[in-house]
Amino acid sequence: MSKLMNAKEYEESLRKLNLQVYMFGRKVANPVDDPIIRPSMNAVAMTYELAHRPEYEDLMTTTSHLTGKKINRFCHIHQSTTDLLKKSKMGRLLGFKTGCCFQRCVGMDAMNALSIVTYNIDKKYGTRYYTRFIEYLKYVQENDFVCDGAMTDPKGDRSLAPHQQKDPDLFVHVVEERKDGIVVSGAKAHQTGAVNSHEIIIMPTITMRAEDKDYAVAFALPSDAPGITYIMGRQSCDTRKIEGMTIDRGNMHYGGHEALVVLDKVFVPWDRVFMYKEYDFTTQLVESFAAYHRQSYACKVGVGDVLIGATQVVAEYNGADRASHVKDKIVEMNHLNETLYCGCIACASEGHREPSGTYLVDVLLANIHKHNVTRFPYQIARLAQDIAGGLMVTLPSAADLASPEVGRWVEKYFKGKSDIPTEHRMRILRLIENLTLGTAAVGYLTESMHGAGSPQAQRIMISRLVNMEGKKTTAKELCGIEKGDHLS
Ligand code: SF4
Ligand code: FE
């Protein structure tokens, strides 16, 4: 019987890890209970919590195609377009439940990409990566692990290939080959959910050529393997979390995190190596991971739902909800958000079966979806800030509301509708601030821009994947430049 951990068991499983985590220049002795990291752990825990709720069972769990056992969908290899659709819906659901990045998608996307590419490498070279990967996948499924799918290297000078960099560690690479495995060094930057993960799956970040073959490696490590260090990224307003459970947090329980993951001569046994110098498969691995992760930005639709809800609430608290321009702006926000939803549903339903049996999303449509994600959340956030008003950023602190000296002035002058407590108005404004300027804006805005590839990466894929010749031919046929079959 494989485990289907609940939120508490997940938390306890993290306590057993011996992670080397640094934040504000100090080692974090207990990441699970650290007030800045904890909300991000809570968000991942939601992926476990919902798996045990009957109403979400169909979305959150499925049957392993390897063992026939019930598993969390985050550990699943998509076996149909229905699986892909459920993945998109699961992303929206979890974004809606947490109002932030819940971090677990990167591992799911890495495993699905590896299930395709390891199979294809074996077909060409007669290697045994797929068998190794399947054994590893069973281990992940059996333990219901969170995996950090790690792709982005620091990259140093962008004009230089990995082997040309002055510092060879700016891309993860092999430093030693041993009988029992390999030793690797380098780092992965802005790794979502890294310190909430049991495992870390490393992949190359760009197409590698023959000269870069030492950089063409993919492998998995326990997150607390010797030689791994995590350095937490800062987020705007992060220290509000150490002020306790005040309303200034905006989102009281959930958040995301990113970290720099440093690999300093880390040993990887052969059974955890899934690509070793097959540089001609790096493009396929990067592009399939990117396509899956671009689909995963269904999460932003769920976070958008929260922001739209918060904006409607503040409009009501302000007594402005019946103004026609406010109603129209809320419609616009919903239009943008549901348009995003169309994209992640479309790329899933147009998915196809790869030779390994894994279903991959329609890559063009996944790129279109992610490209919309680099824009629409910013437009939705702009409208939210428009309706919320400047008070969102000029509001005094929760401590001022509680102050015996000035609390009554805060209470009196920040009241909106007379039947709504001032505190409620402050809370909803803080949530909008959190989503559009604070810790959650990392996930809702900047990550929408750069996560799973910056906008230009999608534009390159779009120009490569659209059938331009077909479009030109039909245009020419229709106006009589070329004779089509159907024309006389
Ligand atoms: Fe998942 Fe979205 Fe976070 Fe990426 S940004 S890990 S897709 S929740
Ligand atoms: Fe991301």
- Residues paired with residue 173 on neighbouring β-strands, in sequence order: 185
Roughly what angle, to the nearest 10 degrees, separates helices 81-98 and 299-318?
A: 40
> Can 297 be counted among the known catalytic residues?
yes
Residue 482 pLDDT class (50, 70, 90 cuts) = confident
Residue of 100, 105, 344, 347 with catalytic role: 105
* Residues composing the chain: 488
pTM value > 0.95: yes
- Whether 285 and 117 have beta carbons less than 8 Å apart is answered as yes
In angstroms, what is the span from residue 254 Cα to ligand 1's centroid? 14
Q: What is the mean pLDDT of the chain?
A: 97
- Residues paired with residue 185 on neighbouring β-strands, in sequence order: 173
Q: What integer pLDDT is reported at residue 485 of this predicted model?
A: 60
Q: What integer pLDDT is reported at residue 1 of this predicted model?
A: 44
> Can 332 be counted among the known catalytic residues?
no
Show the tokens assigned to 41: 């752990």
Cα atoms in the 13 Å half-sphere on the side-chain side of 91: 28
Neighbour tally for 269: CB within 10 Å: 12
Instruction: State which fold the 294-474 domain adopts.
Output: Butyryl-CoA Dehydrogenase, subunit A; domain 3 (1.20.140)
Average pLDDT of 142-151? 98
Average pLDDT of 144-166? 97
pLDDT value at 171 more than 90 = yes
Average pLDDT of 205-216? 97
How does pLDDT run across 335-365, given as a tens digit for each residue?
Answer: 999 999 999 999 999 999 999 999 999 999 9
How does pLDDT run across 59-109, given as a tens digit for each residue?
Answer: 999 999 999 999 999 999 999 999 999 999 999 999 999 999 999 999 999
> Can 299 be counted among the known catalytic residues?
yes
How does pLDDT run across 254-310, given as a tens digit for each residue?
Answer: 999 999 999 999 999 999 999 999 999 999 999 999 999 999 999 999 999 999 999
Average pLDDT of 127-142? 98
Residue of 101, 147, 344, 347 with catalytic role: 101
Q: Where are the beta strands (DSSP E) in 238-373?
A: 258-269, 273-276, 352-353, 359-360
- Report d(CA 433, CA 385) in Å as an integer: 8
Q: What integer pLDDT is reported at residue 487 of this predicted model?
A: 47
- CA dist 49 → 11, 42, 60, 135 (Å): 11, 10, 10, 26
> Can 344 be counted among the known catalytic residues?
no
| SS3 call for 67 | coil
Domain boundaries, the chain: 294-474
Q: What integer pLDDT is reported at residue 3 of this predicted model?
A: 80
Q: What integer pLDDT is reported at residue 244 of this predicted model?
A: 87
> Using DSSP, how many helices (H) and how many strands (E) does the chain show?
19, 14
- Report d(CA 85, CA 295) in Å as an integer: 10
Q: What integer pLDDT is reported at residue 484 of this predicted model?
A: 61
Q: Which value, to the nearest 10 degrees, does the dihedral of the CA atoms of residues 174, 191, 238, 387 take?
A: 150
Identify which of 20, 32, 17, 16 has the alpha carbon closest to the alpha carbon of residue 266. Answer: 20
Amino acid at 289: F
Q: What integer pLDDT is reported at residue 488 of this predicted model?
A: 46
| SS3 call for 35 | coil
How does pLDDT run across 19-40, given as a tens digit for each residue?
Answer: 999 999 999 999 999 999 999 9
Percent of the chain residues past pLDDT 70, beyond the cut: 99
Atom number, ligand 1, closest to the C-alpha of residue 103: 6
Ligand 1 environment, Cβ below 6 A: 101-103, 105-106, 192, 296-297, 299, 443, 447, 451
How does pLDDT run across 416-464, given as a tens digit for each residue?
Answer: 999 999 999 999 999 999 999 999 999 999 999 999 999 999 999 999 9
Residues with CB under 5 A from ligand 2 (ion): 192, 451
Nearest CA to ligand 1 atom 5: 101
> Can 105 be counted among the known catalytic residues?
yes
pLDDT value at 313 more than 50 = yes
